[in-house]
């Protein structure tokens, strides 16, 4: 069992130059603590995501870490020229010595796509073509492609990825159908839903792998994500989380409020509601261990991804939470998972 980190890179109260440095200091701590991978979101025109160019931020991550894997969760493919993107991927993979994880998607927000002149109705087809171009460019020395949206003829690909044939691929799943598609493509996956719903996704994923005759192969990462806050006592952790979460929620809804619409996957307005929905936990190490152990058992996931930095959490609060998680929660959950498997 491995542990990862998900980060919206959402705005706090810090000035921007201090904000980015604080985030990179946290990344250094994730590296030192032995987390497997650091996954960041891509968003535009919203304080929910201050990494609208994931490659730029991840280039700094590559230089501030030694062992930690990292990558976008996801690159919003319709917003990219895929040839330019595959070159950035090669650079990041080489600069990190082969620690890049690639996540691709069509983009979660029609509003953000529209800002770039992309019709949400076309996003799935653009995504499909873009992915074909990226994969071809990562595996061949010449790019030749003719599609509805992209056309390349005998374009030299001067770069190549460090990992062969290319870095591991990731996909966010919300339905059994999307889980099955990801399994057929051999993708690692991440769910941000509650344990019971995630169980339907992991079952679909594994059933598809079995149908393909791949159930005897080493299992890919099947992840579940949670907002996580730890402190010495339950009361202290809950007080911190309740204070910090509203800013994140305000950031999450910012662009939808501005444009008079609603997100496809809304989140509870307060941290207690988030916990009731099975998407967050705050407490002492013992409480967090018990809660997450149950989530892992119910969901069938083999990879736990924590969102440790969000909203108005201070740097000291976040570092303390990470340290408690590393010292107490990681070994307990890893031991429980090993005993059951």
Beta strands in the chain (DSSP E): 2-7, 37-40, 69-72, 75-76, 102-105, 142-146, 151-156, 169-172, 188-191, 222-230, 280-283, 303-307
Mean pLDDT of 77-105: 97
Name beta bridge partners: 305: 4, 225
Q: pLDDT tens digits, residue range 122-178?
A: 999 999 999 999 999 999 999 999 999 999 999 999 999 999 999 999 999 999 999
- pLDDT greater than 90 at residue 339: no
Asked whether 338 and 1 are in contact (CB, 8 A), the reply is: yes
Look over the chain and give the mean of its residue pLDDT values, rounded to a whole number: 96
| Angstrom distances, CA of residue 98 to CA of 90, 91, 133, 176, 304 | 9, 10, 21, 31, 22
What single-letter DSSP state applies at residue 327?
Answer: I
At residue 210, the pLDDT reads 96
Q: pLDDT tens digits, residue range 38-56?
A: 999 999 999 999 999 999 9
Rounded to the nearest 10 degrees, the angle between the axes of helix 315-324 and helix 16-33 is 10
- pLDDT greater than 90 at residue 336: no
Domains of the chain as residue ranges with CATH: 2-73+221-340 (3.20.20.30), 75-167 (no CATH)
Name beta bridge partners: 76: 105
- pLDDT greater than 90 at residue 264: no
Q: Categorize the per-residue pLDDT at 337 as very low, low, confident or very high, splitting at 50, 70 and 90.
A: confident
- pLDDT greater than 80 at residue 335: yes
pTM of the predicted protein model? 0.96
Angle (nearest 5°) at CA 92 between 178 and 37? 55
Mean pLDDT of 16-39: 98
Q: Categorize the per-residue pLDDT at 340 as very low, low, confident or very high, splitting at 50, 70 and 90.
A: confident
> Out of 70-74, 157-161, 215-219, 282-286, which region has the weakest mean confidence (pLDDT)?
215-219
């Amino acid at each position: 069992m491995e542990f990862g980190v998900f980060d919206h890179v959402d705005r706090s109260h810090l000035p921007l130059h201090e904000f980015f440095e604080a985030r990179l200091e946290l990344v250094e701590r994730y590296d030192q603590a032995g987390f497997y991978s650091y996954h960041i979101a891509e968003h535009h025109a919203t304080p929910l995501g201050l990494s609208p160019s994931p490659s730029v931020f991840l280039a700094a991550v590559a230089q501030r870490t030694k062992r930690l894997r990292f990558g976008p969760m996801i690159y919003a493919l319709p917003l990219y020229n895929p040839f330019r993107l595959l070159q950035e991927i090669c650079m990041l993979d080489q600069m990190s010595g082969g620690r890049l994880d690639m996540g691709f998607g069509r983009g979660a927000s029609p509003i953000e796509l529209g800002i770039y002149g992309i019709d949400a109705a076309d996003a799935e087809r653009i995504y499909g073509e873009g992915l074909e171009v990226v994969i071809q460019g990562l595996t061949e020395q010449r790019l030749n492609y003719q599609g509805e949206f992209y056309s390349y003829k005998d374009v030299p690909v001067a770069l190549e990825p460090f990992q062969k044939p290319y870095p591991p691929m990731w996909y966010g799943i919300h339905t059994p159908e999307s889980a099955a598609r990801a399994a057929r493509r051999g993708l690692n996956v991440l769910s941000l839903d509650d344990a019971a719903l995630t169980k339907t996704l992991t079952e679909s994923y594994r059933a598809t792998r079995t149908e393909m005759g791949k159930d005897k192969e080493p299992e890919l990462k099947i992840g579940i994500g949670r907002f996580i806050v730890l402190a010495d006592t339950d009361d202290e952790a809950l007080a911190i989380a309740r204070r910090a979460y509203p800013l994140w929620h305000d950031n999450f809804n910012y662009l939808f409020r501005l444009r008079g619409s609603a997100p496809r996957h809304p989140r509870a307005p307060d941290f207690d509601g988030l916990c009731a929905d099975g998407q967050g936990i705050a407490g002492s190490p013992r409480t967090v261990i018990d809660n997450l152990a149950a989530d892992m058992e119910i969901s069938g996931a083999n990879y736990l991804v924590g969102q440790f930095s969000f909203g108005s959490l201070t740097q000291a609060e976040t570092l303390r939470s990470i340290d408690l998680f590393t010292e107490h929660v990681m070994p307990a959950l890893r031991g429980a998972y090993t005993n059951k498997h």
